[in-house]
Amino acid sequence: MDKFVTHRGKVMPLRRSDVDTDQIIPAVYLKRVTRTGFEDGLFRAWREDPGFVLNNPSYGGATILVAGPNFGTGSSRQHAVWALRDWGFKVVIAARFGDIFRGNALKEGLLPVQLDQKAVEAIWELAESEPEKEIMVDLGERQVRVDDAVWTFPIDEFSRWRLMEGLDDIGLTLRHENTITEYEQHRSHFKPVVA
Amino acid sequence: MVGATPKPRTLAEKVWDDHVVRAAEGEPDLLFIDLHLLHEVTSPQAFDGLRLAGRRVRRTDLTLATEDHNTPTGYADPSFNTRRGELFTIADTVSRTQIETLRKNCAEFGIPIRSLGDVNQGIVHVIGPQLGLTQPGLTIVCGDSHTSTHGAFGALAFGIGTSEVEHVLATQTLPQTKPKTMAVTVTGELRPGVTAKDLILALIAQAGTGGGNGHIVEYRGEAIRGLSMEGRMTICNMSIEWGAKAGMIAPDETTFEYLRGREHAPAGEQWDAAVAYWKTLATDEDAEFDTEIFLDASAISPFITWGTNPGQGAPLNGVVPDPEEFIEETDRNAARHALEYMALRPGTPFREVPVDVVFVGSCTNGRLEDLRAAAEVIQGRRVHDGVRMLVVPGSYKVREAAEAEGLDKIFADAGAEWRFAGCSMCLGMNPDTLSAGERAASTSNRNFEGRQGKGGRTHLVSPQVAAATAVAGRLAAPADL
Ligand code: SF4
């Protein structure tokens, strides 16, 4: 995983709330067995509308998606994160995220940034009046900055450290393999096994 | 310390504490996972990751795979039962590839699999409980958000993403930050004809799709205690639809009776030890929840959704709401969008909304009790002209049990389609889909845009309302027939 320290990029304003993962990438794209190439499924249904923001060339190359509250609710599909990542997004900003989506995003190095709805509105307006404008997302300082505006966002210390170091979770856990083995030796005997 | 009173804990906290392999300041707890369920959709990339890193599956004995999302549920060939596991019926090559990939991965890594054609094949959240693998006090995960279903047994069960699937395969553990706890206390009794599905839809409409965010929810109170295991599963299943990390119900005699004698349930002395432990799991009297919600069961009537998220619901007795009456601007916009997509006009009585398709099935309402409830309504009646009704058992075993009771006949006589087990029309991934513009009454759990097929319109309902709707050709409750 690449390290994430700061990111400067253009904003794509997505004025929708409750964007569920079925909208981010419809179920038919879940049939693939590969790990990349999901950008073609991103917001597939909405993209058929020529006026949809993803089709607007002014926002070409945007790397920061700014959406309404409850982004990424619904199904657990990691494909939603892959689709956003493969399209080129590095950061998603919203007032609230679906829990599983948020966890999935953190694991893939796509940074979910939680700002209040007022800040989201301010960024939307900015992006709509000046689509070329870049904003700064600073994970070290837990800040989003543009011009004179500074917004702070919450993120737990551990996730922040992992992202900034670009560490893979499984490797981290396997450093404690002995502790796992020890735990296994004390599990209750009546717990079920499959095979 | 001898004599010290331990801090009172909730059910969720007890199960959590029992699974902490490692805790360190400033880091998530490392939790041991007792049962890991797999299906074809969210696992291929996880196995790919293992191969890339040269890792093995740590506990194949705590891992079980099945095929459900992609599998077709209609087989023209009556000899299907004798041709177990063959893929010839999956016409869609991509679906077939996904299922073949799961089979290859399970063979390569030594994981037991219940394939299409196996008597234990079915929707992943139906077969876990059915096999007796889902037990109180366990941690259960699956790359599927409706894993919350298993919480009905007092297990801590939640959906995970594919990278977490890989993590569990490799380590049998998951790093997790402790969520907050919430109690949903449902007082009173459900009125006759009102079901667990109505209860959970009403709760989500009240609390909103984000109302449970960041919480493990414990459903309690006399209305919950009065539910069967099937009803409890319906409730816990939809926990994720209002954002909860997991839903749980404390195990009691109903739970024990359901489990007794099942294939993987403990037996003999093991059973006694297990029950003794399970009884300790209930929330302590003085334990505190971070959040509490109260609901009066007796005030609930048959409930449906009118919009494109499960929180956009209302009593069937009502009318399509006017978006302008919502207080929050985001809610107004969402309602406007939803009504446009659903092609509904404000003020229209729900009972005047005609449907094209009725779907009874899914991990929310595809168990034997659900099929019985729908059959009872439809017995001796006919599916309305021009309406297509699909009845899809949640597992192969559910299908067999239903046939043993003659339910298949009742449905067939009424003009409904009796199908094989799978996720079917719950999501648009297999041949059972809505066409653009078609409207369905569906016992599943998601009414998202296009969930049941591109351009399809979904009203979430209980099995009873689904069956009555099939007969009436419009949204209806059994009492209307
Ligand atoms: S029945 Fe529907 S909700 Fe349940 S596992 Fe299948 S697709 Fe998911």
The DSSP output letter for A91 is E
Nearest CA to ligand 1 atom 2: B426
What does the buried/exposed string (b/e) look like for B365-377 if buried means 16 or more CB atoms within 10 Å of the residue's CB? bbbbbbbbbbbeb
Q: Residue A94: in which H helix or E strand, if any?
A: strand A91-94
Answer whether B209 touches A (CB < 8 Å): yes
Quote the Cα angle for B156-A154-A176, to 5°.
50
Question: Do residues B345 and B353 lie in contact, with contact meaning Cβ atoms separated by under 8 Å?
Answer: no
pLDDT of B75 reads: 66
Which residues have CB under 6 Å of ligand 1?
B 68-69, 123-125, 144, 146, 362-363, 423, 426-427, 444-445
Which residues, in sequence order, are bridge partners of residue B294? B185
CB contact under 8 A, B172 and A180: yes
Amino acid in the structure at residue B126: V
**Cβ separation B30–A158 shorter than 8 A:** no
Q: Give A14 to chain B, closest Cα distance, Å.
A: 13
Determine the pLDDT at residue B437: 97
User: Does the distance separating the beta carbons of B167 and A169 come in below 8 Å?
Assistant: yes
Neighbours of B310 (CB within 10 A): 25
Atom of ligand 1 nearest to the CA of B124: 5
Q: How confident is the model at residue B83 (pLDDT cuts 50, 70, 90)?
A: very low
Predicted confidence at residue B274, as pLDDT, reads 98
Identify the band that residue B85 occupies on the pLDDT scale cut at 50, 70 and 90: very low
Contact yes or no for B273 and A190 at CB 8 A: yes
pLDDT tens, N- to C-terminus, chain A (195 residues): 778 999 999 999 999 999 999 999 998 888 778 878 899 999 999 999 999 999 999 999 999 999 999 999 988 788 999 999 999 999 999 999 999 899 999 988 899 999 999 999 999 999 999 999 999 999 999 999 999 999 999 999 989 999 998 888 898 899 899 999 999 999 999 999 997
- Around B212, how many Cα atoms within 13 Å sit in the side-chain half-sphere? 30
Nearest CA to ligand 1 atom 6: B423
Of A75, A170, A184, the CB nearest to B170: A170
Condensed to tens digits (0 to 9), the pLDDT of residues A12-49 reads 999 999 999 999 999 888 877 887 889 999 999 999 99
Residues 415-434 of B with CB under 8 A from A: 427-429
Shortest alpha-carbon distance between residue A18 and chain B (Å): 8
Any A CB within 8 A of B45 CB: yes
Are B243 and A99 in contact by the 8 Å Cβ rule? The answer is: yes
Interface of A with B in 98-137 (CB under 8 A): 98-100, 103-104, 107-108, 117
> Which of B236, B444, B448, B452 should be mutated for ligand 1, with most atoms under 8 A from CB?
B444
pTM: 0.88
Q: What are B344-392's pLDDT values in tens digits?
A: 999 999 999 999 999 999 999 999 999 999 999 999 999 999 999 999 9
- Contact: B333, A156; criterion CB under 8 Å: no
